[in-house]
């Protein structure tokens, strides 16, 4: 077996290189998955030991040189990935505030993000924590009614705010804002209360920020409505004015990537600048005979890409795309193959060195999955043969290109679908078809029209170009709303396990990074992961970390039973996505299987041939302890957003504030007895401030998997 591996590595050549970037990413992911300092040190120690052992026995004329070289590289880069993200966590991570509070702050405005569609402005403030006096950064939402022109970057203001620690995941598998805030150096979020006093007006940020704001406002003035907000996003990266209905339609149609300034937009700008510079410079014979024009055009394209990246805010996806575009230009200038896995690997390593936390985020995963899928598909021998130049009519050539565009869209959708299911618990079905129309429309029509309109505005003649721009964007929006409205346009699934996602990732990388028949082995883990999706079933009960929000599945058809009327879109989306349901929310008051009063709801569920009684608290008034103890004794599970007395002893589980403060949100599967908690996914990372704990059961054996109740009489202490 070792000789077979050695022979395989010896003939792999350059295909081995991109795997080093994948291993580096795996080391970063391992740091997030491991729980505490001792496990992180163990990872570094094991990697160091493997590398030293491989180096100690490495001799060019010895046995298995390629295998030893691979072991050394894998061990070193796996440990390096963990060390890089650990180092950044220690350098930039800031302890969140200890508790919610209302306080008056004197602050310096670091950043300002207008979001007119939500009726607010987001401010990033530098201030001091009221309790301890330490310097912190907080993100505050300011209603548009309280906004003033002088509240710009660099302004010093005084205001009263309601602050909260950055929110952990509401439920296991939900979005972890606390982790995002940790790497952004944000200690609290909140909202302003009352008017803002400006102590010193701000300069409005740097020159590029002012240009960005001016460009966004100019575009929206020239083009009104939804088309204007999306054109402003294309031109300046400002998405704050896009209506939520348009955002949702673009998401469900698989077109959200068009709204984020990333590879598509940067590539269009760089390609346009490269081609225009090449054509214009070729008109000067003296220069064309003395200078390599592709090299000069590549420099112009790189400069245009970098400027566009800075102008649109230099977000991580945009920087990532700019790096890839510059590498492609460098390859073109040197006469090398512009699109290769080695180029993708170099761009990935560069991004991971500066933003290692992006590895566990959907943006990094989706963008690189899409690029890897494109490069692997177009590098495959059958595709090269299909696209090879030949003598044929232009109609046949266009038909082949159109077929290839459709196949590329399908492959990209298949590549990013597991990522969408893992992070968002949803995936679009018709995204490939929508992208076949929307991507060429955006790159070949809309963005050039925006550039022409802005250029003509210098002479006051941009109105016709803006009219055409609006029509092209209206066509894209119409397509998005139509696709999103089709039956089955969105597939909802309960939370996918990390193991299944890892199988998808490993299989996809194996398919993409190797060539020949050996790459087909990657289908095995993908098949296993797909089969695991068929076994997914939603948890029976979902409980938020504060105990105020409870969801029950399996009783209302496609509807989700909830304890309270959910006015918050955030709460509603989390409950429905984690349940894998797209139906309506139905209150327990309206369900015949629940008996509710102002303080509690008693619910009976039938699962796995057993009847379960749930007692769910929903009031704030004092309840006689004797009555509460009697009700708890008749229940299998008690859920409450308050601390319950020790006399409340349900038969299996008491999920009150005391327990939830240690476990965070949890999901319960009654048939298997499995309880999943937020705490078990957080470990000892700095952004998780809650004491890590496991669910407590009022039975002699405290296990995470609780036994099915065979009778109603509780044992000692239960």
Give the tens place of pLDDT for each residue, 494-510.
888 889 999 999 999 99
Q: Report pLDDT for 150.
A: 84
CB 431 within 8 A of CB 254: yes
* Beta strands across the sheet bearing 550-556: 585-587, 559-562, 550-556, 541-543, 666-669, 674-677
Is 70 exceeded by the pLDDT of residue 263?
no
| Rounded mean pLDDT, 264-287 | 84
**79 has pLDDT over 90:** yes
Instruction: Count Cβ atoms within 10 A of the Cβ of residue 186 and give its class: 0-12 exposed, 13-18 middle, 19 or more buried.
Output: buried
pLDDT value for 467: 93
Region 157-175 average pLDDT? 91
* pLDDT above 50: residue 713: no
Distance CA 223, CA 236 (A): 14
Q: Over the stretch 298-310, which tens digit does the pLDDT of each residue have?
A: 888 888 888 888 8
pLDDT score at 205: 59
What sign for the dihedral angle of Cα 309, 314, 318, 323?
positive
Closest to 321 measured CA to CA, from 298, 305, 342, 303: 305
Strand partners, 28: none
The CA distance from 409 to 370, in Å, is 9
pLDDT of 699 reads: 40
Beta carbons within 10 angstroms of residue 115's beta carbon:
17
Burial 684-696 (b: 16+ CB within 10 A, else e): ebebbebebbebe
How far is 617 from 627, CA to CA, in rounded Å?
13
Distance separating alpha carbons of residues 240 and 615, to the nearest angstrom = 43
3-state secondary structure of 440: helix
When mean pLDDT is compared across 15-29, 323-337, 371-385, 486-500, the lowest value belongs to: 323-337
Indicate the burial class of 11 (C-beta count within 10 angstroms; 0-12, 13-18, 19 or more): exposed
Pairing of strands 188-200, 666-669: unpaired
Long-range contacts at 348-352 (CB < 8 A, ≥ 24 apart): 348/21, 348/25, 349/20, 349/21, 349/24, 350/323, 351/316, 351/319, 351/320, 351/323, 352/21, 352/24, 352/25, 352/28, 352/81, 352/84
Q: State yes or no: pLDDT of 714 exceeds 50.
A: no
Residues 6+ apart with CB under 8 A from 135: 126, 127, 128, 129
Tell me the pLDDT band of 60, cut-offs 50, 70 and 90. Answer: low
| Whether 698 contacts 717, CB under 8 Å | yes
CA distances from 71 to 13, 48, 75, 346 (A): 16, 11, 6, 20
- Cα 560 to chain centroid, rounded: 25
Count CA within 13 A, CB hemisphere, residue 26: 19
Question: Phi, psi at residue 706, to the nearest 5°?
Answer: -90, 145
Among 413, 372, 233, 259, CA closest to 311? 233
Dist CA 421 CA 418 (whole Å): 5
- Report the pLDDT averaged over residues 405-422: 85
What's the whole-number average pLDDT of the chain? 84
Handedness of CA 588, 589, 593, 597 (dihedral sign): positive
Find the range with the poorest average confidence among 299-308, 486-495, 645-654: 486-495
Residue 198 has pLDDT above 60, yes or no: yes
Distance, CA of 204 to CA of 189 (rounded, Å): 22
User: pLDDT tens across 513-539, in order?
Assistant: 988 888 899 999 999 999 998 888 889
% the chain with pLDDT above 70: 93
pLDDT tens digits for 541-590?
Answer: 999 988 889 989 887 667 788 888 777 778 888 888 888 877 678 888 88
User: Mean of the pLDDT values across residues 198-214?
Assistant: 76
Q: Could you give the dihedral angle defined by the CA atoms of residues 234, 240, 241 and 243, in that order, rounded to the nearest 10 degrees?
A: 100
């Amino acid at each position: 077996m070792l000789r077979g591996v050695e022979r395989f590595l010896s003939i792999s050549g350059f295909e081995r290189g991109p795997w080093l970037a994948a291993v580096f990413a795996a080391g970063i992911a391992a740091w997030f998955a491991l729980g505490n300092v001792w496990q992180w040190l163990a990872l570094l120690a094991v990697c160091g030991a493997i590398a030293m052992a491989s180096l100690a026995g490495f001799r060019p004329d010895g046995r298995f040189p390629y295998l030893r070289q691979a072991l050394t590289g894998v061990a070193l880069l796996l440990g390096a990935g963990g060390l890089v993200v650990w180092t950044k966590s220690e350098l930039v991570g800031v302890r969140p505030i200890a508790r919610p509070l209302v306080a008056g702050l004197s602050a310096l405005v670091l950043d300002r993000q207008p979001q007119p569609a939500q009726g607010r402005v987001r401010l990033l403030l530098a201030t001091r924590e009221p309790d301890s006096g330490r310097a912190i950064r907080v993100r505050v939402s300011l209603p548009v009614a309280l906004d003033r022109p002088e509240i710009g970057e660099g302004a010093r203001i005084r205001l009263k705010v309601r602050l909260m620690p950055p929110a952990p995941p509401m439920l296991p598998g939900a979005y972890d804002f606390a982790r995002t805030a940790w790497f952004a150096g944000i200690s609290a979020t909140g909202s302003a209360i009352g008017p803002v006093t400006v102590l010193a007006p701000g300069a409005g940020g740097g020159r590029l920020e002012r240009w960005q704001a001016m460009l966004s406002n100019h575009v929206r003035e020239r083009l009104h409505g939804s088309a204007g907000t999306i054109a402003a996003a294309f031109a300046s990266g400002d998405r704050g004015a896009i209506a939520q209905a348009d955002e949702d339609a673009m998401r469900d149609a698989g077109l959200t990537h068009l709204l984020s300034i990333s590879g598509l937009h940067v590539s269009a700008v760089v390609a346009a600048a490269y081609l225009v510079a090449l054509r214009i410079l070729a008109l000067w014979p003296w220069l064309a005979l003395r200078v390599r024009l592709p090299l000069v055009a590549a420099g112009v394209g790189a400069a245009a890409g970098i400027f566009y990246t800075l102008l649109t805010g230099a977000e991580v996806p945009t920087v990532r795309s700019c790096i890839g575009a510059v590498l492609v230009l460098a390859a073109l200038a040197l006469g090398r193959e512009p699109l290769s896995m080695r180029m993708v690997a170099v761009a990935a390593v560069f991004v991971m060195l500066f933003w290692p936390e992006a590895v566990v985020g959907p943006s990094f995963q989706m963008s690189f999955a899409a690029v890897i899928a494109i490069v692997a598909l177009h590098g495959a021998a059958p595709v090269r043969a299909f696209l090879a130049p030949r003598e044929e009519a232009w109609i046949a050539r266009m038909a082949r290109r159109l077929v290839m565009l459709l196949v590329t869209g399908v492959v990209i959708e298949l590549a990013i679908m597991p990522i969408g299911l893992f992070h968002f618990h949803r995936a679009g079905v018709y995204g490939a078809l929508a992208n076949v129309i929307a991507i060429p429309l955006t790159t070949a029509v809309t963005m050039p029209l925006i550039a022409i309109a802005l250029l003509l505005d210098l002479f006051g003649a941009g109105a016709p170009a803006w009219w055409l721009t609006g029509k092209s964007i209206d066509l894209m929006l119409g397509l998005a709303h139509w696709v999103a409205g089709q039956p089955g346009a969105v597939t909802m699934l309960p939370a996918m396990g990390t193991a299944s996602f890892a199988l998808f990732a490993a299989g996809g990388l194996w398919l993409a990074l190797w060539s020949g028949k050996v790459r087909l082995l990657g289908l095995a883990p993908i098949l296993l992961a797909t089969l695991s999706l068929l076994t997914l079933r939603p948890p029976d009960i979902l409980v938020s970390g504060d105990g105020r929000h409870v969801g029950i599945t399996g009783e209302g058809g496609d509807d989700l039973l909830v304890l309270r009327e959910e006015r918050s879109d955030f709460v509603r989306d989390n409950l429905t996505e984690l349940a894998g349901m797209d139906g309506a929310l139905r209150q327990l008051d309206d369900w015949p299987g629940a008996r509710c009063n102002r303080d509690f709801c008693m619910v009976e569920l039938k699962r796995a041939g057993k009847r379960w009684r749930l007692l769910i608290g929903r009031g704030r008034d004092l309840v006689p302890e004797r009555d509460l103890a009697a009700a708890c004794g008749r229940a299998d599970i008690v859920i409450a957003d308050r601390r319950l007395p020790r006399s409340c002893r349900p038969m299996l589980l008491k999920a009150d504030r005391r327990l939830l403060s240690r476990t965070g949100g949890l999901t319960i599967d009654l048939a298997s007895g499995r309880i999943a908690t937020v705490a078990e996914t957080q470990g000892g990372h700095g952004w998780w401030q809650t004491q890590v704990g496991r669910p407590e059961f009022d039975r002699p054996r405290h296990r995470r998997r609780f036994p099915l109740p065979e009778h109603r009489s509780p044992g000692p202490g239960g």
